[in-house]
Amino acid sequence: MVVAGPADSDSRYMAIAVREAMRGIGFTSPNPAVGCVLVRDGRILATGYHRAAGGDHAEVAALRSIGFAASGSCAYVTLEPCNHTGKTGPCTEALKAAGVVRVVIGVQDPHGIVNGAGIDRLRSAGIEVVVGVLQSSCEALIAPFRRVVTTGFPYLTLKVAASFDGRVADVGGRPVWLTGQDAQFAVAELRHRADAILVGVGTVLSDDPRLTTRRREGRLGKNPRRIVVDSHLRTPTNARVLDGGATIFTTISQDSDLVRRFVDRGNEVISVPCDATGRVNLEEMFRECVRRSWHHILCESGPTLTTALLFGRWIQRVAWFSAPMFGGAPHLLALPTSIGVGTMYEGPHIVDVAVQRIGKDVVCIGDVFYPE
């Protein structure tokens, strides 16, 4: 008989903590999604996850569910416990006070205010600490958070839906549903987990999208903030994306009558400087997004804005949905123009690619690597 060793048990319980953390994705910004499992004598005492900024952290949520009676237990946490007082107290002190004797951590917190301090505090209190269990899975949970705290810019996922030969519209530019219902539900899940959805004015004019979240089996989905990049405010005031309010980034002055027309209808209009081409300065726009705690942005942009985002090296992840069909408008490709590189080898690469069949369609998901 093979008896599972500590490493096997640690991985098994950390996998449960990862699943717990995933329940909070899309709701916790500006905080990361975190999960926790409390185990004693091979039995799970409690689980918890961080539900929203300002609320209990995952460790406290798990401890609270059992009245903080965790003496002699092991805590499995996807992210290093905090050791400072913010909107909540230090999780290190909560674990210590509850009698936790061992803490297994998926990944160290990259934020400067933590970044090892929680680990040091636990060890100084005589608590055994193990770091790096299922690290890649735990890293994936905090990718948007890491991007923001290390660069000051949001984490962008690009979603593309195209035919096998890269067309994004029918002949004459008519918008069509390229992918099937299963893929559309998959996109809804991507939206549900994002803080905001980004499109350009070209997509608004051609498709008039709502960009709402319609999930499988009638489940309610979170509708992220909708962002329109519209340098010269060409968005129609009756566009469906504006239903319920949206944020428009433009170069038009705030004292313009045109701006007031949108604001009076419940929208937010943010004026930013223009870039060398006279369009919205993307760097300034993304700084504004971070100020609003939109850390993970799903880009459902059309060819023009998508090209600009890739050229500017803003995209960190891609979800490319391919429909099993050919044809369509020959000039409407997902990426119709050069993104400023000489050869394919100099352009962005997609790494750690996962390919999945979703109904009749195929989706390729991977991280973007930009060669130096």
Residue 204 is encoded by which pair of tokens?
Answer: 């608004």
Q: Which residues contact 43 (CB under 8 A, 6 or more apart)?
A: none
Strands (E), 20-109: 35-40, 43-49, 74-79, 102-107
Question: How many whole angstroms from its chain centre is CA 77?
Answer: 20
Query: Is-catalytic flag, 59?
Result: yes
Strands (E), 29-154: 35-40, 43-49, 74-79, 102-107, 128-131
Residue 189 is encoded by which pair of tokens?
Answer: 């899940």
Is the separation of the CB atoms in 155 and 148 below 8 Å? yes
**Whole-angstrom distance, CA of residue 127 vs CA of residue 163:** 55
- Name the 3-class secondary structure at 227: strand
**Whole-angstrom distance, CA of residue 169 vs CA of residue 176:** 6
**Whole-angstrom distance, CA of residue 111 vs CA of residue 21:** 18
- Which among 26, 296, 303, 297 has a CA at the least distance from the CA of 161? 303
**Whole-angstrom distance, CA of residue 153 vs CA of residue 309:** 13
Residue 144 is encoded by which pair of tokens?
Answer: 């948007």
- Which among 150, 254, 241 has a CA at the least distance from the CA of 198? 241
Q: Which residues contact 263 (CB under 8 A, 6 or more apart)?
A: 269
**Whole-angstrom distance, CA of residue 12 vs CA of residue 15:** 5
- Name the 3-class secondary structure at 306: helix
Alpha-carbon separation of residue 286 from 37, 150, 191, 203 (angstroms) = 35, 14, 18, 19
On the question of a cis peptide bond just before residue 154, with omega within 30 degrees of 0, the verdict is no
Catalytic position from the list 59, 217, 268, 300: 59
Question: How many whole angstroms from its chain centre is CA 146?
Answer: 11
Q: What is the DSSP letter of 80?
A: P
- Among all residues, which ones are annotated catalytic? 59
